[in-house]
Amino acid sequence: MSGIKTRQDLDDFVRGATLYGTGGGGSQEMGKNLLLQSFEEGRSIEWVRIGDVGEDAWVCTAFYMGSIAPLTDKDKKEMKALGLEERVEKRVLITAVQELEKELGIHIDAVIPVELGGLNSAAPLDAAVQMGKKVIDADLAGRAVPEVAQTLPRLWGYPICPIACCDAWGNVTIIKKTHGYDMAEALGKMLSIPAYEPIGLACFAMKAKDAGRALVDGSLTKCLQVGAEVRMACENGTDPAEAFASAAGGKVIMKGTVTAHDWESKGGYMYCTNEITGADEFKGNVLKIWVKNENHICWLNGNPYITSPDLIQLVDRQTGEPITNTDTAVDMEVSVVAIPNLRYRTKEAIELLGPSHYGFEKISYKPMEEFF
């Protein structure tokens, strides 16, 4: 059993989870604040391996879904017109899990984060701790992904429904049955649009004996370790991006300045293009990154380069702190780290998360290590 024992552990964990968020995965600040409240209440924040719960124990995933784009003035006016001024649900994932239990008539014994990210790893951990449930040291993607339909349970054909949905304004919806995984994703995103922010969902209820093959084992512990490595690199005066790359088995693929950041919020997703102009050993190079909530496809000097399923993450060049696409801005000094995603190397997984899934039919996925 491992977990968060100190305030430094908490900071390291959220940092590490955000580093694996590939620019998405939700608000690092919000995730940290949720966990901090549980920590200050003296609650035990720990996780266990999937083999430590009974084979017939029920598990589920719980997460936030919706666009990570900043609110515009137009959004704020529309929210006011709808009376969306005071949030009544502070922990929407708790409500979502409880509603899923009611719908199925079962007791959920443990929660598995759907992905790695500042909010979507921290929030389910906090929710489980508040409910007295176990947390599994794992996630369902090994990174952040824009669609719940891209997670590993889909590859095993596990049912996603029913899905319990709850937003901060007190709206609760149960999606009992859908045509398929992509329709489930679309319906969930549709519910997030009138909420003007990500909403809480709980789904993929399954027995622990089945969950084992549809998760990335040990990923929460890895987040804690990687977050600590980056912090210690800063304390020791060494390059934090290189420390991150080394700890995660990846590589620094760019250092430079953000020279373009164009974005829009559409259909419950944040779409944007980031451009980084190289410095130091990368001087004379330009890296362009296409985003759907997370970083998915990059071009080096106009040529297709590293893509999803592998991870592409921006970090602050001086501190190594992860930068989400919500917070990316022109003139930021950044490093870019790429990490191989070995669980998504099958044909089916690449179809689910690779370039063609996003409409880039002319770009073929190439494992990142083949570039070096």
Structural domain includes residue 140: no
Q: How far is CA 329 from CA 122, 233, 257, 323, in A?
A: 25, 24, 10, 10
In a domain, 121, yes or no: no
Report field, pTM of the whole predicted structure over 0.85: yes
Confirm whether 254 is domain-assigned.
Answer: yes
Range of the domain at 348: 240-371
pLDDT band at 3 (very low <50, low <70, confident <90, very high): very high
In percent, the amount of the chain with pLDDT more than 90 equals 96
pLDDT tops 90 at residue 67? no
Looking at residue 355, what is its pLDDT? 98
Average pLDDT of the segment spanning 337-361: 98
Q: Is residue 343 part of a domain?
A: yes
246 — pLDDT class (breaks 50, 70, 90): very high
Is residue 112 included in any domain, yes or no?
A: no
Name which of 348, 324, 322, 325 is nearest 335 in CA terms. Answer: 322
Mean pLDDT computed over 351-357: 98
Query: Count of domains in the chain?
Result: 1
Q: Domain for residue 48, yes or no?
A: no
Residue 161 has pLDDT above 80, yes or no: yes
Q: What is the CATH number of the domain that holds 323?
A: 2.40.390
Instruction: Answer whether residue 105 is part of any domain.
Output: no
For residue 68, what pLDDT is reported?
82
Average pLDDT over residues 29-50: 96
pLDDT averaged over every residue in the chain: 97
In a domain, 288, yes or no: yes
How many C-alpha atoms does 10 have within 13 Å on its Cβ side? 21
Q: What distance in Å separates the CA atoms of residue 269 and residue 179, rounded to the nearest whole number?
A: 21
Query: Given the structure tokens 């590589």, which residue do they identify?
Result: 251
Residue 69 pLDDT level (bands cut at 50, 70, 90): confident
